Amino acid sequence: MANELNHGTEAIALRKLGINETYQLAMYLLDQYRGTILSCRYAVPPRLAPAESRVQVEEAVKIAVVDTIMRHPMLQVAMIDATSKTPSWIQLQSLDLTHHIKWLYLEGHADFEQTVQEAFRVQLDDRFQDLSIKQPGWKITVIRQGDAPIMEVLLTWNHPQFDGAGARVFHEDFLEMLNNAENKPYERKSLDGDILRLPEAPPLLPTPIESLKSLPLDLKYLARVFWEEFRPQFLNRDASQAAWCPIRSSPYKTQFRAFSIDNTSLLAILALCRQNKTTITGLLNGLALIAFSLRLDSTVAPAFQSSTIMDHRRNLPPAPPHAPWVRSDRVVSNYVTQLPHRFDTELVARIRSKLPATSNEEVDLPADLQRELWAVSAQNRLEIVRKVDAGLRNDLVGVFKYVTDWQQTMSDMAKKTRQFTWLVTNVGVLDGKTSENDHKWSIDRAQFGLSAEIPAAAIEFAPISVAGRGMCVSANWPDCAVDQMLGELIMADLEKWLAQLASQS
């Protein structure tokens, strides 16, 4: 029945994909990017933990997913004309929830954490169903083991559908729905087994930012962007580009690593950040600069560029009066941009002068290097603050308006010199509703990860925190372009140095 409904001629085109959505779709179609995951570990209320409560837990999850779908229209739509220059979102009449909720039960002595990490790595590189099969590009995988009072929920999605901040909202709203299920009996007229009938009225989709606000571009800024984009390669003498890491497209495989920081250590690090006028994002950019300066030779990488992913929700007007998501900062959609940073040859040489000559050993951060770290991290935060203050002026999304063929543009980009050595995408602090009340559902930890972005940064860092529960820092890189040992050394440096900073306070 769902098949007939979703494949019928009644599908109504709601709007064309926005700039961000089209750009991300082009990367997916060219196999330059596959999936994104935000995984959360939920504490299951004791009354539902026993194995014999499996049916009740499955029902609670299904109902909470349905309530979350109904709050966020981007979870209800699929796309048509995906390979054309003007793909569109379409209204669906129903969803088959078996395509969107998967259960994995572990028996006996299976290693829960190992299974979670393996599922995470595999799903990052999974491709979604053929886009001609009209389904929303997201799913959750729930992993449970026996009577354990926890379950892992992996939200995996195709980036055109929404961004990382949208995924954080999904988990927070899903948690709210789990906790409200008993207080607010769900009206089940629209749910027939695993088939969710969607409203007949077209859903109100979030509007792309370029249709909500003007994106003013100063002539000087626009000229610089176009020069960097179209200048002949023989005129490109920019030592900060990542020429040490040529862009390679295949074989496609993501290398993924992650480590966790407990809440006590995180609080100590945050206190140091405040003292030094920076943030976790600024600090990670600073630590990455030192790590790459240590692990790469000055002859191949005399300078660097990095990129910080930023959320534009703060620049949105108030949500429409009848929007089911209510507030603009609670919208599941695509509202990100990126801010480039440059680290010139003089700065990188000064940092290298404070590092040991050999790069095949563990290195502590001495006092003089920490002074450089905090100066770089504070400067990084200042650049982010200036970007926030500038709002939508001279934003990359404004430049993207001039792109007429995203697949051609992204295909061309893969033939150029790589611009960024690293990228930081921090979706912030997730409210896990943790409290002493163990009769409620809560979230104890989270892990955020991206599949390899072929033409983007060589290594991408993705931190996420759960309020009162610490932070997880992950990294990904394309296996065909970045040496595995380099990626692991960089991650080991960040983990070691964050622990060192936490122990100093």
Q: Percent of the chain beyond pLDDT 70?
A: 93
Per-residue pLDDT at 3 exceeds 90: no
Confirm whether 67 is domain-assigned.
yes
pLDDT digits (tens, 9 = 90+) for 318-334: 999 999 999 999 999 99
Task: Assess whether 200 and 232 both reside in one domain.
Answer: no
pLDDT of 182: 63
Task: Assess whether 250 and 193 both reside in one domain.
Answer: no
pLDDT of 2: 42
Per-residue pLDDT at 20 exceeds 60: yes
Band of the pLDDT at 8, cuts 50, 70, 90? Answer: very low
User: What are the two backbone dihedrals, phi and then psi, of residue 102, each rounded to the nearest 5 degrees?
Assistant: -115, 140
Confirm whether 436 is domain-assigned.
no
Q: pLDDT higher for 5 or 505?
A: 505
Confirm whether 324 is domain-assigned.
no
User: What are the two backbone dihedrals, phi and then psi, of residue 189, each rounded to the nearest 5 degrees?
Assistant: -55, -35
**What's the CATH number where 411 sits?**
3.30.559.30
Per-residue pLDDT at 54 exceeds 90: yes
Q: What is the mean pLDDT of residues 440-468?
A: 97
Task: Assess whether 113 and 225 both reside in one domain.
Answer: no
- 425: which 2 tokens? 């995408």
Strand bridging mode 195-197 / 191-192:
antiparallel
Confirm whether 69 is domain-assigned.
yes
Task: Assess whether 15 and 126 both reside in one domain.
Answer: yes
Among the candidates 206, 227, 258, a domain finishes at: 206
Q: Is 359 helix (H, G, I), strand (E, B) or coil?
A: coil
Per-residue pLDDT at 185 exceeds 70: no
Among the candidates 206, 241, 274, a domain finishes at: 206
User: What are the two backbone dihedrals, phi and then psi, of residue 280, each rounded to the nearest 5 degrees?
Assistant: -60, -40
Q: Is 152 helix (H, G, I), strand (E, B) or coil?
A: strand
Strand bridging mode 36-43 / 191-192:
unpaired
Task: Assess whether 152 and 298 both reside in one domain.
Answer: no
pLDDT of 436: 64
Confirm whether 166 is domain-assigned.
yes
Task: Assess whether 223 and 170 both reside in one domain.
Answer: no
pLDDT of 4: 38
Task: Assess whether 127 and 235 both reside in one domain.
Answer: no
Single out the residue of 359, 356, 231, 387 nearest to residue 300, CA to CA.
359
Band of the pLDDT at 435, cuts 50, 70, 90? Answer: low
* Domains contained in the chain, number: 2
Task: Assess whether 115 and 215 both reside in one domain.
Answer: no
Confirm whether 327 is domain-assigned.
no
Confirm whether 444 is domain-assigned.
no
Task: Assess whether 39 and 123 both reside in one domain.
Answer: yes
Task: Assess whether 248 and 365 both reside in one domain.
Answer: yes
Among the candidates 171, 206, 241, a domain finishes at: 206
pLDDT digits (tens, 9 = 90+) for 404-414: 999 999 999 99
Q: Exposed e or buried b for every residue in 311-325, given b needs 16+ CB within 10 A?
A: bbbebbeebeeebeb
**What's the CATH number where 126 sits?**
3.30.559.10
pLDDT, the chain, mean = 92
Single out the residue of 162, 210, 208, 206 nearest to residue 398, CA to CA.
210
Residue ranges making up the domain that contains 469? 210-316+333-431+451-504
- 115: which 2 tokens? 């299974």
Predicted model pTM: 0.94
Band of the pLDDT at 77, cuts 50, 70, 90? Answer: very high
pLDDT digits (tens, 9 = 90+) for 262-305: 999 999 999 999 999 999 999 999 999 999 999 999 999 999 99
Task: Assess whether 278 and 152 both reside in one domain.
Answer: no
Q: What is the mean pLDDT of residues 15-35?
A: 96
Confirm whether 294 is domain-assigned.
yes
User: What are the two backbone dihedrals, phi and then psi, of residue 31, each rounded to the nearest 5 degrees?
Assistant: 55, 40
Q: Report the alpha-carbon distance of residue 200 to residue 287 in Å, rounded.
A: 52
Task: Assess whether 197 and 219 both reside in one domain.
Answer: no
**C-alpha angle 389-390-396 in degrees, rounded to nearest 5:** 130
Residue with token string 């494949």: 7
Q: Report the alpha-carbon distance of residue 103 to residue 120 in Å, rounded.
A: 14
pLDDT digits (tens, 9 = 90+) for 223-245: 888 877 776 766 667 899 999 99
Counting beta carbons within 10 angstroms of the beta carbon of residue 256, is it exposed (0 to 12), middle (13 to 18) or buried (19 or more)? buried
pLDDT of 360: 65
DSSP string computed for 320-358: PTT-TT-SGGG--S--EEEEEEEE-HHHHHHHHHTS-S-
